[in-house]
Every structure is written in structure tokens, then in C-alpha cells.
Amino acid sequence: MVSMKPNMAKGMVTSNTEIEAPRKTVMKKVDFADELMKAGGVYINKCVQCGRCTASCPSGKHTAYRTRMIIRRAMAGFRDEVLASDDIWLCTTCYTCYERCPRGIDVVKVIQTLRNMSIRVGGMLPAHRAVALNLYKTGHAVPLDPDNKEKRLKLGLPEIPPTVHSSSIALSEVHELLEQAGFLDILETALMKQIRVRPPEEGLFL
Ligand code: SF4
Ligand code: SF4
């Protein structure tokens, strides 16, 4: 029996088993790039890994989020890892990366597409789930809180502004729109399939 260890260390192919591995990797890569293309219309394999997106990302300055790394992992076909990653939820959609990418890749659309896929496997972060629930419950992603009600009164304004907050009819219209758009089904899936055990931050849910 021939030992494969010495040649593997040099990156050489010595058996059918070893030949299979890189082929599978290439297929995986093409599959996920195509899946992203079909879902979001952006072809990530144009990326040359220059890192301009990471260098200009304001979110990455304060977190471990590295835009180029997400694109790289997606290109390499690490579908499950990318969809389960917290990082894709840290993008603020400021579009700086899109403006600076030398390959014209709409990185924001890639991230949004990845989020849409991630939601379906329960990858949505608790804070984002809370915002989505707020939207359904109040018609506002960031609803009025007691502090702001007090400030409004001090300024001589009505405690409740003339928005969905003050209209049950408008809120029922919001519900109808969200239901017709399938928003609740998607949110329910996200809540049922939570792949994270971390509980939602206290006070985020209304
Ligand atoms: S800026 Fe564009 S080409 Fe450069 S790493 Fe980011 S996505 Fe890839
Ligand atoms: S859109 Fe997102 S990924 Fe791009 S620079 Fe802004 S925060 Fe970073």
C-alpha cells in the first residue's frame, strides 16, 4: 500500500480519492455562485479579492465583519457557513463598497440576497427579528417609546404623532400589505428555525 502523506504535503495528486476532492470543491463553488446569481442577480465570481470593500466598510471598523471575506467564502461555496454567519447582518447598507468596487459588484445586493436566504434557515439575528416584529405590531420598525412621547409633550406636540401609531385603520392596512407580501410566513420561518440559541436582547420586543 502506498502512503499518500508525502505527496499530499506537496499538493500532488496520487490517487483517485485525492482527485475527487478538488473537483467537488469546484462544483460547490459554481453551484453557490449560480444560486446567488439566480436569487439576487449579482455574479460574485467577478470579484478579484482586492479588499476595497473591506477597507471602506464603516461597520467593519467596529466589528469583525470583513466584506471581502464573506464574498470569498461565498465564492468558495461555503453556503451553510455564510448563511449562518452573524457578519451578514452587520452591514448597514451604506453602499460605500458598491461605489468603490473596481469590478462593479453590487455587494449590498449580495448581502441582502444572503440575508434573504439566511432567514429561511433561521439565521436572522435577534435584533433584526425584533425590528421585523415591531413593524408588524406597530407599523414602525422603530416605534415611539415613552421617552420620545414625553419629549413630544414638552415641545408642545401631540403625544402620539399622526402616523400609523394613531390610526388603527392604517395599521390594519399595514397588516394586509405585509400578509400579502408573505412577510409573516417568512418571519414565522425565521422564528421557528432559529439556528442561534442566543435570546433576544431584553426590551427589544414590544
Ligand atoms: S471591492 Fe469588489 S472586487 Fe474588491 S474584494 Fe470587494 S467585492 Fe471583490
Ligand atoms: S454597504 Fe455594508 S458591506 Fe458595504 S461598506 Fe456599507 S456597511 Fe460595509
Segment 78-88, tens digit of pLDDT: 999 999 999 99
Gap between the Cα atoms of 102 and 192, Å rounded: 40
Gap between the Cα atoms of 22 and 6, Å rounded: 18
Give yes or no for residue 72 CB within 6 A of ligand 1.
no
- Whole-model pTM: value is 0.74
Give yes or no for residue 205 CB within 6 A of ligand 2.
no
The answer to whether the beta carbons of residues 62 and 73 sit under 8 Å apart is no
* Predicted pLDDT of residue 14: 39
Domain ranges of the chain: 24-121, 123-206
Gap between the Cα atoms of 97 and 99, Å rounded: 5
The answer to whether the beta carbons of residues 29 and 76 sit under 8 Å apart is yes
Buried b (16+ CB within 10 A) or exposed e, 138-150: bbbeebbeeeebe
* Predicted pLDDT of residue 206: 34
145 has a pLDDT exceeding 70:
yes
| CATH code of domain 24-121 | 1.10.1060.10
Residue from 49, 106, 108 whose mutation best tests the ligand 1 pocket (most atoms within 8 A of CB): 49
Maximum average pLDDT range among 74-78, 128-132, 153-157, 182-186: 153-157
* Predicted pLDDT of residue 6: 40
- Phi then psi dihedrals of residue 23, to 5 deg: -60, -45
* Predicted pLDDT of residue 9: 40
* Predicted pLDDT of residue 24: 53
204 has a pLDDT exceeding 90:
no
Closest ligand 2 atom, residue 108 Cα = 1
**Residue type for position 54:** T
Mean pLDDT score, 9-15: 40
Residue from 97, 110, 114 whose mutation best tests the ligand 2 pocket (most atoms within 8 A of CB): 97
The answer to whether the beta carbons of residues 204 and 142 sit under 8 Å apart is no
Gap between the Cα atoms of 146 and 153, Å rounded: 11
